[in-house]
Amino acid sequence: MAKVAFLGLGVMGYPMAGHLQAAGHDVTVYNRTTAKAEAWASEHGGTAAATPALAAKGAEFVLCCVGNDDDLRSVCLGDDGAFIGMDADTIFVDHTTVSAAVTRELFAASDAKDIAFVDAPVSGGQAGAENGVLSVMCGGEQSAYDKAEPIIAAYARICKRIGDSGAGQMTKMCNQIAIAGLVQGLSEALHFAEKAGLDGRAVVEVISQGAAGSWQMSNRYETMLDDHFEHGFAVDWMRKDLGICLATANENGASLPVTALVDQFYKDVQKMGGSRWDTSSLIKRLRDV
C-alpha cells in the first residue's frame, strides 16, 4: 500500500479519497475549506493537512481534483503548493478537467523538479465517484502511468493511458463534446413526446433498447420527465468544460458547430436560474419556450 495525498474534497474528491483509504492506502487530505478536510479525516480515519505542501510531504502519489485552471495552479505552485512538498521521482495525478494549456504548464513545472505528472480527468459524475466506477483517461509518460494506475484503480471502472501529456485532457474534451449533443438530442426527444401526448416512460422503454439508447437516456430520462434537476454535474461546470473544448478547437482547427450551439443553450439555462441544475436541465429550456 502507498502513502497518498489527495487535494480537493468536492463532490468528486471526497468519495475518491475515501476509496483510497478503504483500499488500505495511507491518505492525507487537503481542502481549501479546512472543516471539510477534518470531517473527511474523522469519517475515514485519514489525516488532514493545512496546506497542499504539507499534505504532499513524504507522499509517493499526490492526487488532485479541484475546480478549474486557477484552482489547480494554486494547489500545485507557490510556497504552499504541492510541488514544494513533493520529493523527486514522486507522481502527481491531476483528475481536474482543465485546459490543455495549464496541463502543459504544470507538466513543465513538475518536470523541472523531477516530479512525474499524469493528467487524468474522469467521467462518471458524483455517482461514479461514490460507487468507485469512474472512467479515467490519462496522459503522461508510460512509466508514471504504470505506477499510478494501481492507485487510481481504487475508484475506477476503467483507466487507460491515451498518450503523452495532455492526451487525457483532450480525451475528456471528446467526452464532453459527445455528452453535449446526446443531452440535447434526448431533451428534444422527450419534449417532442410530451407535445405529441405520448407516455415518455413508455417511449424510452422502447427506444432505449435500440440505436437511440445511451447512458444519458438510461440514467436521466426519469428525472427529466419529472422536472427534477437538483443532482449530478452542474450546468456551470459543463459550460466551463465546453469553453475549454471550444477554445481548443479554435487552436487545432476542429469544427464543433453542435457543441457551440449547445453551449449557448446552457447559457440560456443559466439565465433561467439553472446554474447549479444538472446538465439534463436542457429540457427546461424547451419547455419554457
Catalytic residue ranges: 172
* C-beta atoms surrounding 157 within 10 Å: 14
Q: CA 103 to CA 69: how far, in whole Å?
A: 9
- Is 232 in contact with 278 (CB distance < 8 Å)? yes
Q: How many angstroms separate the Cα of 139 from the Cα of each of 136, 178, 234? A: 10, 20, 25
Show the cell assigned to 53. 505542501
Half-sphere exposure (Cβ direction) of 224: Cα atoms closer than 13 Å: 29
Q: CA 239 to CA 176: how far, in whole Å?
A: 10
DSSP label at residue 153: G
- Angle, alpha carbons 283-184-161 (nearest 5°): 130
SS3 (DSSP) at 33: coil
